[in-house]
Amino acid sequence: MPDTIYAKSVKGRPGYRFASQPPPEPTGVPKEYLRKGPIGLPEVSEPEIMRHYVALSTLNHHVDKDLFPLGSCTMKYNPKVNEDVAGFAGFSGLHPEQADDDVQGALEVMHTLEGKLAAVSGMDAVTLQTVAGAQGELLGLMLAKEYFADRGEKKTRVLVPDSAHGTNPSSAVIAGFETTTFSSGADGCVDIDALKAVLDEDVAVLMLTVPNTLGLFEKHIEKITRLVHETGGLCYMDGANMNALMGHARPGDFGFDVMHFNLHKTFSTPHGGGGPGSGPVAVKSHLEPFLPAPRVIEEAGRYRLSTDYPKSVGALHSFYGNFGIYLRALVYITRLGADGIHRASATANLNANYLAKSLAKLFPIPYGERCMHEFVASGAPYRENGVKTLDIAKRLLDFGFYAPTIYFPLTVPEALMIEPTETESKETLDRFVEVLTRIAQEAKTSPETLTSAPTRTPVRRVDETAANRNPVVTEPLDV
Amino acid sequence: MPYTYHSKEDRAAMLRLLGFDSEDRLFDAIPEGLRLDQPLPIENGRSEPETLRLFKRLAVKNHGAHGLVNFLGGGIYDHVVPSVVNNLASRPEFATAYTPYQPEVSQGTLGVIFEFQTHISRLTGMPIANASMYDAASAMAESALMAAKATGRKTILMPDSVNPRYRRVVERYVSGQNLLIEAIPATASGQIDAGALSARLGDDIAGVVVQTPNYFGVLEEPWAFSDPVRESGAMLIACVCPISLAIFRPPSEYGADIVIGEGQSLGNPMSFGGPLVGFMACSQKLIRQMPGRIVSRTKDVDGHTAFVLTLQTREQHIRRAKATSNICTNQGLLATRATIYLSLLGEHGLTELARLCHDKAHRLAERIAACDGYGIRFGGPFFKEFVVECPTDAVAVVKRARELGVLAGIPLEKYYGETSRRDLLVAVTENNSDEDFELLCDALCKARDAEREPSNA
């Protein structure tokens, strides 16, 4: 691991210059407003900056290097044309306080994308304001809250299955609900009786991921949403797994009232090492009056932002969400078209099923090897050799692959959640199977190869406990 | 078809392994009645050149800072983005990596975040910083929730001088926790009424927000009320402009508990207001209440230095309903850009930039004040942004200026109502030249004359 940029600082080295003449120090400002000492930022030359960050970057695994089979994260290829378009000065140079007349192209992008997302989801209206899936969840629940308040109803609970993403219960609490977790059935899907047991008129929202985190389609979905509606509740769909459905089935038809998309998963925008994402929310018409404002309206080919929504929940973002990100998603949709979208999901499911079938003998799949876009295998057979799923994951890193999502969902012991996405070739999938086959072999013959893995990565297993006990989150001042 | 690459033979071989006669079988699990039997109402796909043409046509319908003279600010600023930042941040190693959950193959991202945290810590003077937030608005909301949790109290004091867009987001965010947001008025200097604020303190106040420079561009005097705030047991939440901190007093020196701000100006384009990147720093004692990702330095099994995400038990994927926040992503790539930007500018570059913005803004303010009928609204010291008092409706001034190719500023009426009808918020960055100042002053004069003429006629 190279030193930080601070260790490369040399006092007196000139930094980036903005003007040919040094600007004057502020005059006329009372002393108590002014900084007294140095900031402590590094002093490094431009070529050294390049070398430092290029060197750092090479320590990352990334989609353009090799397979990233991270379940629930949809690490598909990020098309480069998306980046080019987002970099157009006509988009990147816009200030959000400009008049509607000056941003007609941007508003058209928003309006068009809202329409496409509504079409893909079978919902009636979309907001692009939410910048992440978790923020989409939060907004969706707030919409539900306003909806019930508007009807003079008080409902206090949100239901989540035990296989839900951690953000679901967390968002529900921030939105001011209590959460009730209920157990999934033996088939990995919602257990109707378990649902009925916790469902009553206090329930505001049922949150479900479809397909669920086991990669299974909720086969009783119509019944589930009907039951919730019968007690007066609403149904929220966590759209993290939309990559399994696009063009083949629509959440709006399943009975969902509100859902979010993760454009950084399904619609190919880059993950950026942890963001920025984009988490638009789609709703049925009965929730539309509560959507955040402003909203884009089209009138005879002209677009404008309107704030005339008296029931709107207000805003979760200073402006219009992550424009530069959802713009990339629209570029992606434009490239694919209806047929390409349809093909993308079919191929995502084909790749996942192909992998599941190829791996099931070595890594059993407790809920069956028939899946949608991802599946959850188990590393449990190797426990008797002293090998945990974590070790299998770490060994994969030695072969140049990223690891699957591990130990999630909690309903599968030693879980390995694998999502190949549609952009991987058959050769890559076969290579992955080959490597996992070898790892399974190693687990039996030389388990220490796994328990001591990785050995070929930039650093080896790190001491998380020491970090937790005594976190060092900044470079000390003397460096 | 774009972005799927199997040959016909590949598909056939894969389906054969599965024992499927057609791809439709992949969707067997979806009940018949729920399967779409017709294509989505979306046009057919386009080639890359066709797509580029389409989006070029959309882009030219926009008129932004790339073609106009720009004085818009209010939280989003048109600063220079050095070439190095674009070059490095567009590397796929940074752009197409995931959240660094496997630290062995994520040291690039983790190392950058560690530097980001250090940069923010040094700018603000606070010992702890996280890996970034969605934007300043959500960071402010999260700090309000943090203050409420840490104090067990329910009311947040929110001065009128805080960015009204941030206030709106905070109000919405905290509604689920039933926090109360209470306004504190501003004085004629454009600063917080320290007397009114101190008088309102009490054992129900969880936190006090102070934004400096504030929405009017005016620097606040947090030291005028930070002692009473601390004595009352409330948290002081400072929202700061990172560039200004090169020349102005860091919030650690006036006792801030939580420091947040917007990092868009640190090497990120305006991009119609998003994506943005919030930052958050805090005192040592609040680290375990902090939302979002945090990177720590540690060792690997061979004793080599390594970085890792830490204190993850605060986070939603472990704590679920009991997490400190539901936040799941940070703004990794924008934080990367901000990190590279601050490293590149360094001590001298950032100081020069802050002085340049300060100097230019003050020169423009002087010129505007010399325009007949125009004045500077507030007497408090400012950094790179200030409120101009126009002789007529600011909206009319903006309209007239736009006809002359100038984005003159933000009319404050839409946020502060009728009493601010003549107030115009003007921002200056290093990108603005003397020629731009000339154009703006000329536009202001013409707007004034156009308003006077009809009444004189």
CATH code: domain of residue B313? 3.40.640.10
Residue B456 has a pLDDT of 47
> How many domains does one find in chain B?
2
Q: Report the 10 Å Cβ neighbour count for B10.
A: 17
**Residue contact A134–B107, C-beta within 8 A:** no
What is the percent of chain A with per-residue pLDDT over 90, rounded to a whole number? 95
Q: Is residue B372 included in any domain, yes or no?
A: yes
Radius of gyration for the alpha carbons in chain B, expressed in angstroms and rounded? 26
Q: Where are the alpha helices (DSSP H) in A97-206?
A: 104-121, 133-150, 167-174, 192-198
In chain A, the residue whose alpha carbon lies closest to the alpha carbon of B49 is A81
B171 and B236 co-located in one domain:
yes
Domain final residue pick, B341, B361, B387 = B341
In chain A, the residue whose alpha carbon lies closest to the alpha carbon of B268 is A92
pLDDT band of A35, cuts 50, 70, 90: very high
Q: Is residue B281 included in any domain, yes or no?
A: yes
Residues A47 and A87 sit within 8 Å (Cβ to Cβ): no
Q: Locate A5 and state its tokens.
A: 């940029």
Residues B257 and B235 sit within 8 Å (Cβ to Cβ): yes
- With a cut of 50, say whether residue A90 has pLDDT above it: yes
Question: What are the C-alpha distances in Å from A83 to residues A9, A275, A328, B50, B295?
Answer: 32, 15, 7, 16, 28
**Residue contact B136–A454, C-beta within 8 A:** no
CA B31 from centre of chain:
45
Strand partners, A235: A206
For B170-198, b/e burial (b = at least 16 CB within 10 A) is bbbbbbbeebbeeebebeeebbbbbebbb
Domain final residue pick, B315, B341, B367 = B341
B221 and B113 co-located in one domain:
yes
Q: Is residue B388 included in any domain, yes or no?
A: yes
Tell me: the pLDDT tens digits for A387-405? Answer: 999 999 999 999 999 999 9
Distance CA B366, CA B378 (A): 13
Q: Is residue B40 included in any domain, yes or no?
A: no
Residue B313 has a pLDDT of 77
Q: Terminus-to-terminus CA distance in chain B, angstroms?
A: 67
Residue A235 has a pLDDT of 98
Residue B457 has a pLDDT of 41
B74 and B88 co-located in one domain:
no
CA A266 from centre of chain:
9
Chain A contact set for B172 (CB, 8 A): 142, 313-316
B445 and B307 co-located in one domain:
no
Shortest distance, CA B182 to any CA of chain A (angstroms): 17
Domain span at residue B249? 83-341
Residue B321 has a pLDDT of 74
Shortest distance, CA A86 to any CA of chain B (angstroms): 8
B194 and B274 co-located in one domain:
yes
B148 and B181 co-located in one domain:
yes
Residues B315 and B329 sit within 8 Å (Cβ to Cβ): no
B154 and B92 co-located in one domain:
yes
Selected for mutation to probe chain A from B10, B27, B37, B55 (highest A CB count within 10 Å) is B55
Shortest distance, CA B203 to any CA of chain A (angstroms): 23
Q: Is residue B434 included in any domain, yes or no?
A: yes
B281 and B401 co-located in one domain:
no
For B241-260, b/e burial (b = at least 16 CB within 10 A) is bbbbbbbbbbbbbbebbbbb
Domain final residue pick, B341, B375, B400 = B341
Q: Tell whether A132 is within 8 A of chain B (Cβ).
A: yes
Shortest distance, CA A149 to any CA of chain B (angstroms): 13
B352 and B332 co-located in one domain:
no
Residues 433-472 of A with CB under 8 A from B: 454, 457-464, 466-468, 471-472
Mean pLDDT value across chain A = 96
* Higher local confidence (pLDDT), B316 or A466: A466
**Residue contact A316–B319, C-beta within 8 A:** no
**Residue contact A103–B62, C-beta within 8 A:** yes
Give the ipTM.
0.97
- For chains A and B, what is the number of CB pairs under 8 angstroms? 668
B144 and B233 co-located in one domain:
yes
Q: Locate B45 and state its tokens.
A: 């796909």
Here the CATH number for the domain that contains residue B377 is 3.90.1150.10
DSSP A184: B
Residue B455 has a pLDDT of 54
DSSP A238: E
Q: Is residue B125 included in any domain, yes or no?
A: yes
Distance CA A3, CA A433 (A): 37
Residues 153-182 of A with CB under 8 A from B: 165-167, 169-177, 179
Helix axes A323-359, A426-445, angle to 10 degrees: 60
Type of residue found at A115: G
Distance CA A366, CA A368 (A): 6
| Mean pLDDT value across residues A325-330 | 98
User: Nearest-5° angle of CA A167, CA A169, CA A173?
Assistant: 110
Residue partners of A402: CB distance under 8 A and separation at least 6: A61, A66, A67, A68, A69, A70, A75, A396, B98, B102, B105
Tell me: the pLDDT tens digits for A403-452? Answer: 999 999 988 999 999 999 999 999 999 999 999 999 999 999 999 999 99
Residues 205-244 of A with CB under 8 A from B: 211, 216-217, 219, 221-222
Q: Phi and psi (nearest 5°) for A83?
A: -70, -40
Q: Is residue B50 included in any domain, yes or no?
A: no
Radius of gyration for the alpha carbons in chain A, expressed in angstroms and rounded? 25
B75 and B102 co-located in one domain:
no
Q: Is residue B173 included in any domain, yes or no?
A: yes
Hey, what domains does chain A have and what are their CATH numbers? 81-335 (3.40.640.10), 339-464 (3.90.1150.10)
B228 and B359 co-located in one domain:
no
Low-confidence ranges of chain B (pLDDT < 50): 456-457
For B284-303, b/e burial (b = at least 16 CB within 10 A) is eebbebbbbbbbbbbbbeee
